[in-house]
Amino acid sequence: MAKLFIFGIGGTGSRVIKALTMLLASGVKINASEIIPIIIDPDRANGDLNRTIALLKSYQHIRTSLEFDKNQFFRTKITTLNELVASQEKTVMKSEDFRMELEGVQNQYFRDFIAFEQMDEANKALTSLLFSEENLASDMEVGFKGNPNIGSVVLNKFSKSDEFKNFASNFAENDRIFIISSIFGGTGAAGFPLILKNIRNAPDNKWLRESKVGAVSVLPYFGVTPDEKSKIDKATFISKTKAALSYYSRNITGNKSVNALYYIGDKETKDYDNREGSKEQMNAAHFVELASALAIVDFMEIQDGALKNNEGRAENTIAKEFGIESSGQDGKFNFSHIGKGNSAKLIRKPLTQAMLFHLFLEEAIDTSLKHPWANAGKIIIDSDFLTKDFYKSVREFWQKYNGWLKEMSGNTIGFSPFKTVNKDNVFHVVDGIEPKEGMLEFKKNFELFIDRLNGASVGDLPIEQKFMALFTKATEKLAADKFGF
Amino acid sequence: MNNLFAPIYEFFYYGVPFSDDLYQNELYVPLGLFLIFFSLAMVFTFYYWINRPSFSRWYHWGIMLGINMIFQFGFAVIIPQNKFIALGIEEYNSEYYNFGLSVTLMALLMFVLFSFMLRWWSTNCRQTPFPN
């Protein structure tokens, strides 16, 4: 299997990578040996960005203790570009963690970035035609605030960065690239065509020029509350989208520079608080981001033969869109409303397993350690294990997973696959599915869960692996027995 | 079979002529079979039929042991009593209960023996009553 480099541009890029991380943590399979997320966002303090980076780090931290013969959770390797480079004894880059550093945007206004004051009068006049006074006074460090005209200038430096050079030199023949961007903002709308252009025109790197590139372009799916002080105005979202689509039709799909392009969007039914960026921009998760993450999984399933290139151009550009069968009731929908296609089948089992895992850790583990699943064999899972960093990290990760699901459920429209349950109705957790009850099945709720854990034979593995393997087996059986997944 | 069971029962309780009458009337056979099969049934019930996490502590095992002992005591008292009354042998009184108590002790040992033999394959009770 090949590596997958994912460029997540702007806030939407971060949120889609977050959704992908949740899917991979639950055990959704992706046809890649490892994933290298590269987040491009000049807004270093962006809330969405930092939440995603923290989640990715947590994923990596948990994964270091694990092997994956018997465990499905956290199976896919996620690497930073820095780690990939360091592992090959190349220069370690300036970029921290998963974020690519954009040079020249720190503590700078756009006016300074383009050296406006040093321009002659003719160039100043031309620049003033292209950029408003407000544009020129923009602080680069909080992103491009819905202004792709600024982003297209700043992000054009991308190919000259050490990070891009290292990415290019680590790109192997069969590796793939996926680019996530929104079409209606600033950073994403500007960044996508530029990254693509730099990939297709990479000097001295045939593999990169001939690489298989997929992308998701997220159309408007939320609005922002009107705010006279803010530079972001939702009234411009549709016009920007139209303009960008028109540009893409000539310069993305039109010139076949992308192999597969996924379109996704929704009605702007919910207005988020109007935040221009920084730590205050922390939008609630939305199903569109989950569906965009599924586009990445789908892209990796496409056979090489369907993604052939010729002289840096796709022989055929595949265009896909995503739809759900029904939007459910009262703006909430669940697994059954997604439809009978691959998407629901792909996610419903692992997401349910992860939810069951979370419920058990929150409600039942303390009192279940006396049972054989925990205290039989050479490796004992005892109360001391529950104080260890590994266990706390796993528990915290599933708490974030639950929080992410709750955010999606509370959004408009709300993807709400799970219901709130208590210890007396644990298996009513999957919305829209009545759990199967066996005629002679007297064990219920967490007692049945413990029974499945006790019955899960995984051998004497190191404690962390044993723990994850037991929950893989037990939740797999429960998902099959109770929900038919 | 009577000859097989008799020495075992008489090891735990031997009273003259009560034990001789038990032997002569071949009562050790039904008593022995009941001791084995009822104890086995109780062990199977605990480890494989009930087999619940919520009924897997040592005291749950103790409840099953207690039930086995009560039934074995009752059977060990009632079977000889009915037989001897039917035969007109009516001189025994405390012997029935002493014999019953010895059978109860045997039932305890039988239950423990079967538990140790059979518990290993139980999903939820393989560590009951003693952890590995």
Average pLDDT score over residue span A24-46: 91
Task: Give the tens place of pLDDT for each residue, B37-87.
Answer: 999 999 999 999 999 999 999 999 999 999 999 999 999 999 999 999 999
CB atoms within 10 A of CB A210: 18
Q: pTM here?
A: 0.89
**How would residue A87 be classed by pLDDT, with cut points 50, 70 and 90?**
low
> pLDDT at position A318, please?
95
Cβ–Cβ gap B53/A442 under 8 Å? no
Reading the block at residue A116, the tokens are: 């406006």
Find where tokens 């007396």 sit: A424
**How would residue A221 be classed by pLDDT, with cut points 50, 70 and 90?**
confident
Closest-approach residue (CA) in chain A for B125 = A372
Task: Give the tens place of pLDDT for each residue, A318-357.
Answer: 999 888 888 888 889 999 999 888 888 999 999 999 999 9
B123 in contact with chain A, both atoms CB, cutoff 8 A: yes
Closest CA to B42 of B61, B21, B15: B61
**How would residue A159 be classed by pLDDT, with cut points 50, 70 and 90?**
confident
Cβ–Cβ gap B127/A377 under 8 Å? no
In this structure, whether the domain defined by A3-105+143-323 belongs to CATH 3.40.50.1440 is answered with yes
**Does residue A150 carry a pLDDT above 90?**
no
**Does residue A89 carry a pLDDT above 60?**
no
Task: Give the tens place of pLDDT for each residue, A296-315.
Answer: 999 999 999 999 999 889 99
**Does residue A106 carry a pLDDT above 80?**
no
**Does residue A91 carry a pLDDT above 90?**
no
* Rounded CA separation A289/A297 (Å): 13
The per-residue pLDDT of chain A, averaged, comes to 88
Average pLDDT score over residue span A193-213: 90
The domain of B82 spans 2-8+16-121
- In terms of DSSP bridges, do strands A34-40 and A318-321 run parallel, antiparallel, or are they unpaired? unpaired
> pLDDT at position B7, please?
94
Minimum distance, in Å, between the CA of residue A459 and any CA atom of chain B: 15
Cβ–Cβ gap A371/B126 under 8 Å? no
Percent of chain A topping pLDDT 90: 52
> pLDDT at position A253, please?
87
> pLDDT at position B6, please?
94
> pLDDT at position A229, please?
64
Quote the number of domains for chain B: 1
Task: Give the tens place of pLDDT for each residue, A229-275.
Answer: 665 666 677 777 888 888 888 888 888 999 999 999 887 666 666 66
**Does residue A114 carry a pLDDT above 80?**
yes
Chains A and B: how many Cβ contacts under 8 Å? 34
Q: A34-38, A89-93, B25-29, B30-34: which range is least confident on average?
A: A89-93
Kindly report each contact of residues A329-333 with a partner whose C-beta sits within 8 Å and lies 24 or more positions away, as own/partner.
A331/A269, A331/A412, A331/A413, A331/A414, A332/A409, A332/A413, A332/A414, A332/A415, A332/A416, A332/A431, A333/A413, A333/A414, A333/A415, A333/A416
Q: What are phi and psi of A471, to 5 degrees?
A: -70, -30
**Does residue A278 carry a pLDDT above 60?**
no
B54 in contact with chain A, both atoms CB, cutoff 8 A: yes
3 state DSSP class of A223: strand
Q: A143-147, A329-333, A427-431: which range is least confident on average?
A: A143-147
Percent of chain B topping pLDDT 70: 99
Chain A environment of B132 (Cβ under 8 Å)? 376-377
Cβ–Cβ gap A375/B126 under 8 Å? no
Cβ–Cβ gap B127/A454 under 8 Å? no
> pLDDT at position A77, please?
96
Cβ–Cβ gap A451/B123 under 8 Å? yes
Shortest CB distance from A372 goes to which of B52, B54, B127? B127
| Dihedral sign, Cα of residue A283, residue A244, residue A188, residue A143 | negative
The more confident residue out of A335 and B130 is A335
Closest CA to A281 of A143, A181, A134, A386: A143
Shortest CB distance from A371 goes to which of B51, B124, B132? B124
Cis peptide before A193 (omega within 30 of 0): no
Question: Position A462: which residue type?
Answer: P
Average pLDDT score over residue span A279-286: 77
Residues 394-453 of A with CB under 8 A from B: 442-443, 447, 450-451
Asked if residue A38 lies in contact with residue A56, where contact means CB atoms within 8 angstroms, the answer is no
> pLDDT at position A371, please?
95
B49 in contact with chain A, both atoms CB, cutoff 8 A: no
Domain ranges of chain A: 3-105+143-323, 342-483
Closest-approach residue (CA) in chain B for A456 = B123
Torsion angle, alpha carbons of A87, A93, A94, A95, to 10? -60
Chain A environment of B123 (Cβ under 8 Å)? 372, 451, 454-455
Task: Give the tens place of pLDDT for each residue, B76-123.
Answer: 999 999 999 999 887 888 999 999 999 999 999 999 999 999 999 999
Average pLDDT score over residue span A87-99: 62
Task: Give the tens place of pLDDT for each residue, A360-400.
Answer: 999 999 999 999 999 988 999 999 999 999 999 999 999 99
> pLDDT at position B34, please?
96
Percent of chain B topping pLDDT 90: 87
Kindly report each contact of residues A83-86 with a partner whose C-beta sits within 8 Å and lies 24 or more positions away, as own/partner.
A84/A3, A84/A36, A84/A170, A85/A166, A85/A170
Task: Give the tens place of pLDDT for each residue, A52-72.
Answer: 999 999 999 999 989 888 999
